Structure 1
Amino acid sequence: MDLRDLDLRDIEIFLTLSAELHFGRTAERLHVSQARVSQVIGKLERRIGGKLFERSSRTVRLTPIGVRLRDDLQTNYRDLRASLGRASRATRYGDAGILRLGLTSSDLEQVRPLLDAFQSKYPDCQVHLEHIHFGNPFGALREDAIDALVSWLPIHEPDLVVGPTLYEEPFVLLVGADHPLAQRESASYEDLADYGVFGVPPSDPDTTPPDYWAAAAVPFFTPSGRPIARTAHAANFQDLILLVAAGRAITPVHGHAARYYGRPDVAYIPMPDVPPARWALVWRRSGETDLVKDLAEVFATGYVPDADGDPIGEPN
């Protein structure tokens, strides 16, 4: 089927139902009636000449034809929405445009010199910053809610481009103030096997962080091979630190957390044997605009000192 033959709203309804697999939730999420959802699916099935969903009184699931259509439409629909969004922003902000940068870190101090360098070179471009929770790190990029993202590495996503590495920082172990490890001078990954750590709540596979990315911060096994159990879950740092304070679990966190989230009921313990986290600029391959390339160029040549005062920022 030619995508140009479909209404964007019909595509949105089909893709939402493909994710929810529930007519009621789909209608609620899109603020339409269930009858409207059924009408759209019926129209698509008549146009295709085959069933897209198998429906019973209890379950809804995609047919093989439905799976193929979903896979074909997802990227095209996302790119169409991105194109419309860029046209709209160009109308509102002029040719200089607006650049939306997401940060999975709260440490704006590390990025500010690079942003200042970019704004100095492109004074007419407006930069909007968005905080991105680690529970869904790449969703905003893929939904065209942001143009680029500062995230920790590694990132091995075929639809995303990993640009220049911006800075490094150490890990520390976050524990409750009355935890047995709270009085230690240092900790290691081996300590994690003796206590429960945090995982991200299981949700839609399209939004849940990939295991390799999550393991770069909180591994699933110690260096000696002992499993590290996930005994609590949090989708953002605010929930996480409250649960740590309540004694639910402990977790490695990036070093900047100790500066920005100091509390009397938690403690941050150095982890000197753990390799530092590396942060980089990332963007969607199909959303590589001139502004994104300009930002990457400035960030790649910008100067941000590491702990020894040496510049970091060589492109990957």
Structure 2
Amino acid sequence: MMRSIEGKRGMPRPRPPFPAHKGLWEKPSILNNVETFSNVPQIIWNGGDWYAGVGTETSKGTKVFALSGDVNNIGLVEVPMGTTLRTLIYDIGGGIPNKRKFKAVQLGGPSGGCIPEHMLDTPVDYEEISKVGAIMGSGGVIVMNDRTCMVDMARFFMDFIQDESCGKCTPCREGTYRMLEILNKICDGNGQPEDITSLEELSHVIHQSALCGLGQTAANPVLSALRYFREEFEAHVNEKRCPAKRCLALLKFKVDPDLCKKCGLCYKSCPADAIEWKKKEKAFINQNKCIKCMSCFSKCKFDAIF
């Protein structure tokens, strides 16, 4: 039953997990959830044609999403299948808070995939979402702004997936552990060029040989991040630099004198007295005192800290 769907750079596209064919007493299993059952009474009452009148050609009805992350309106939303990600995030979600820029959206929960800004007009249905490297999954929608590190985000999701692995099959048990180990290594500033290749190879093996849906989709966060944000992985590995300023081991904060507005917000927020500043003067960060707490970075409204 294994299927290989080749995506960009020869990487397999995410696929929905195959349900079990046998369950209790070797009888056929029925996989349904609350969302499915909640639609049944309405279909019985109003008819199949009524239900099929909502959605797309191949994905009928509505879908409930849990909208969270860097978005103004957080909560559960129900939209017709085929609604675009842009509508979901900006019209319903209210856009990105604090005037930050959109960077990516993780769709499908921890084993889903991240979708970049140029694909925001993708309609949300099973086929289209799969094409761009994500899955519908549990309906989780995590919005990320431009201060999100995609390497660190991939590590975060892989840590969850590795912890959730039941340990029954070797590809998932050992493969996800090894992938997490490599991601930790990259975020700690010890990554090597071959680590990116190893991540791709491990992703392919786990995707093809894991026994259950968790393992088969475990590599999605890493594959999609590599597919759309490969330059961030390369910056971590080759330049020992985190473009989003999130990986502490790679940080060395400085003030850009051309962007500094002499407001003193960074000075007032620093708990280590590492910032030197006087009224109407530009700030300066004392590297010997800096504890890399990121308070100055988060408080600066002008992106003058780099």
Structure with higher RCO (Cα < 8 A, 6+ apart): 1
**TM-score relative to the length of structure 1:** 0.25
**TM-score relative to the length of structure 2:** 0.26
